[in-house]
Amino acid sequence: MKQVLYRNPITFFLGALMALLMLAPASVQAQDLGDAAKGKQLFNQNCAACHALNRKMTGPALAGVYDKYEGDMEWLGKWIKNNQALIKAGDERALAIYNEYNQTPMTAFPTLSDQDINDIIAYTQAPPPAPVQTAVVADAGAGSSDSGVGTDILLGALAVVLGLLLMMLYLVTRTLKRFAAANGIEVETAGRKSLWKAYAQNQFLILVTVILLLLASAYHMYGYFMQVGVDQGYAPIQPIHFSHKIHAGDNKIDCKFCHSSARSSKHSGIPSLENCMNCHKSIYEYKGNPEGPSAEDLANGYTNEFYTGEIKKLYAAVGWDEESMQYTGESQPVEWVRVHKLPDLAYFNHSQHVTVAGVECQTCHGPVETMEILQQHAPLTMGWCINCHRQTNVNVKDNKYYESIHKALSEKYGVEELTAAQMGGLECGKCHY
Ligand code: HEC
Ligand code: HEC
Ligand code: HEC
Ligand code: HEC
Ligand code: HEC
Ligand code: HEC
């Protein structure tokens, strides 16, 4: 009798359902809003000047904004297309965020289509293309394909179903007991196991639950790391289109001419606009490409006129009057969007790497001289730092301080050359405050 009760399809179904309950939040997050890859592109083109996913900039961090507004895509669409209209209409949520940001105006994007906006929001959610989500969640998420269903409603519905099933189970047990009594069969009650005990002894059910839990946590972890982490390939649009390809590539200007502090300090820094004007007092238009733009440049709108227009933006920012060749005194700062950013808990020093270790900029930043728009090349994770420290030999030539340490340590390790790791480059305290 027990066997029948506890191995029957209902208990199995209950076990599976409980596991699915844990999965439910993931299924809501993962729903198919739009194409995150396209969204990323649109985001970088339109939004990255003021927003990052996980950092507050001019505007709020946008990761999780879908959840913040409980999946109300209609509102988000209205806000993005014309936030001022919402504010004027006295919309509560619009006013709240507007006032929180000291009434900084956000650009309106009336030309973005609903699909574009879905794609952008999908990117801010960073839904992973993991097969897990479709395979496992398929039957739990019947309602979740509808973007309007909130997590709470779904959880509530599942709880109701669970309750109904428990009641059914109770009724079935009672009927079976009556049936047994009527037929004179003894049902032992003293040693009866609780439902949980029986569950705990059913290896198959446990296996199923464990697998589901593992899948669920793997999926959540993946989503977590996608969000907090790695901004590899991040290439925001800058207030002035500044081409490293034209400056460092075509015109072979040394990196350190502009990023002069890389040699001597923690930060490389971005050059001041005065530094730009050393050259641009005389370079007032772009003639770079005598044959005219290539088909690819044309497709991107990179014509000579476009580039010249960007030099005029520089003039407007520093307050340079071309006619009189004088500064007008009316300048406005250019806020370059930061591309590389380690979290505050990590310490990185440029001069240590560039001057002391002699590592090329490109080893970490990639082929910058070919980048029309600068992008993050390396993942900038802890594993990335550590890997290189394990593999790179320390440059000891012409370095008196290192010569003596090097001698002592290389004898200790019995090697000719020391890696950065052997010099202490794996100690937590070296990279963490
Ligand atoms: C010129 C800067 C700027 C640009 C460009 C910009 N935003 Fe904003 N955004 C803001 C500011 C500032 C706020 C805060 C509200 C306010 O002060 O208007 C904001 C708020 C938001 C909010 C509400 C966030 C919350 O936490 O409530 C969303 C959603 C949003 N922006 C989406 C976008 C999207 C999508 C794009 C690109 C298509 C974009 N923004 C482009 C400046 C900008
Ligand atoms: C003529 C001046 C100039 C030269 C030469 C130049 N840069 Fe830059 N660099 C800039 C400016 C301006 C920015 C900020 C705008 C941007 O990110 O595109 C910048 C940004 C960067 C960034 C991103 C900073 C961030 O926000 O994380 C890196 C990395 C970088 N440069 C590396 C290099 C390297 C490597 C070279 C040599 C191959 C080089 N630069 C040559 C002016 C210059
Ligand atoms: C060993 C790897 C490595 C090398 C070599 C390196 N960088 Fe960086 N660079 C980084 C990291 C990591 C960051 C992010 C630092 C942070 O957020 O504190 C960064 C940030 C920057 C920035 C943004 C502003 C700043 O200082 O944080 C600029 C500009 C830059 N690097 C330029 C250069 C130039 C130019 C060179 C060559 C002279 C160079 N880097 C060599 C790893 C490197
Ligand atoms: C060492 C000289 C030099 C410095 C410093 C310099 N530039 Fe340039 N810049 C050039 C040259 C050369 C060209 C290409 C002109 C041509 O081909 O006709 C150029 C082109 C440009 C263009 C048009 C192409 C593009 O990149 O979009 C812009 C905009 C520009 N510079 C902005 C800046 C800014 C901003 C700074 C300072 C951060 C700066 N430049 C610093 C030499 C310089
Ligand atoms: C391309 C290789 C490379 C990468 C990537 C790299 N480093 Fe290094 N790092 C070195 C070398 C080589 C040294 C040894 C320099 C020396 O001679 O002291 C070093 C030294 C250091 C030191 C000094 C260690 C000591 O013993 O005093 C610190 C701190 C450090 N790196 C932090 C970082 C951090 C943080 C990152 C990642 C954001 C990073 N490094 C990425 C090559 C690298
Ligand atoms: C060579 C430099 C380096 C060394 C050595 C190093 N870390 Fe890190 N660590 C980093 C960097 C860079 C990050 C930020 C990575 C990121 O944002 O993905 C980081 C991040 C972390 C984080 C935070 C992870 C998160 O998600 O925010 C922890 C915790 C951590 N390190 C612990 C340690 C411990 C413990 C050690 C010693 C065993 C250590 N680290 C040694 C460079 C280093």
Rounded to whole angstroms, the Cα distance separating 21 from 16 reads: 9
Our answer on whether the CB atom of 87 is closer than 6 Å to any ligand 1 atom is: no
Q: How far is the CA of 144 from the centre of ligand 1 (A)?
A: 27
For atom 24 of ligand 2, the residue with the nearest CA is 339
Q: Which ligand is nearest to the CA of 276?
A: 4
Q: How far is the CA of 297 from the centre of ligand 2 (A)?
A: 21
Count of residues for the chain? Answer: 433
Predicted confidence at residue 325, as pLDDT, reads 87
Rounded to whole angstroms, the Cα distance separating 75 from 122 reads: 15
Our answer on whether the CB atom of 42 is closer than 6 Å to any ligand 3 atom is: no
Ligand 2 atom, smallest distance to 253 CA: 5
Predicted confidence at residue 395, as pLDDT, reads 62
In a mutational test of the pocket of ligand 5, which residue from 388, 393, 419 has the highest number of ligand atoms less than 8 Å from its CB? 388
Residue pLDDT tens, the chain, 433 long: 444 444 555 555 545 555 454 544 443 343 478 888 888 888 877 887 778 887 777 889 898 899 899 889 999 999 999 998 999 999 999 999 999 988 888 888 888 899 999 999 998 887 444 333 333 333 333 333 333 334 455 667 777 888 888 888 888 888 888 888 887 776 555 555 677 888 878 888 888 888 888 888 876 666 555 544 457 778 888 999 999 999 999 899 999 899 987 777 777 789 999 899 989 988 999 987 777 788 888 888 888 889 999 999 999 999 999 888 889 988 888 999 999 989 888 999 998 888 888 889 999 999 999 999 999 999 898 889 988 888 877 665 556 556 666 667 777 776 666 677 666 778 888 888 7
Ligand 5 atom, smallest distance to 348 CA: 35
For residue 398, count other CB atoms closer than 10 A to its CB.
7
Rounded to whole angstroms, the Cα distance separating 75 from 56 reads: 21
Rounded to whole angstroms, the Cα distance separating 172 from 177 reads: 9
Rounded to whole angstroms, the Cα distance separating 403 from 394 reads: 11
Backbone phi and psi for residue 393, each to the nearest 5 degrees, phi listed first: -80, 145
Q: How far is the CA of 375 from the centre of ligand 2 (A)?
A: 10
Q: How far is the CA of 305 from the centre of ligand 2 (A)?
A: 23
Q: Which of 209, 164, 185 is nearest to 2 (CA)?
A: 185
Q: Which ligand is nearest to the CA of 432?
A: 6
Rounded to whole angstroms, the Cα distance separating 141 from 153 reads: 12
Our answer on whether the CB atom of 40 is closer than 6 Å to any ligand 2 atom is: no
Rounded to whole angstroms, the Cα distance separating 207 from 86 reads: 52
Q: Any idea what the Cα angle at residue 128 is, between residues 127 and 130, rounded to 5°?
A: 140
Our answer on whether the CB atom of 80 is closer than 6 Å to any ligand 1 atom is: yes
Q: How far is the CA of 423 from the centre of ligand 5 (A)?
A: 10
The sign of the CA dihedral 211, 212, 215, 217 is negative
Q: How far is the CA of 219 from the centre of ligand 2 (A)?
A: 37
Residue with token string 């090097």: 406
Predicted confidence at residue 177, as pLDDT, reads 82
The sign of the CA dihedral 121, 125, 130, 131 is negative
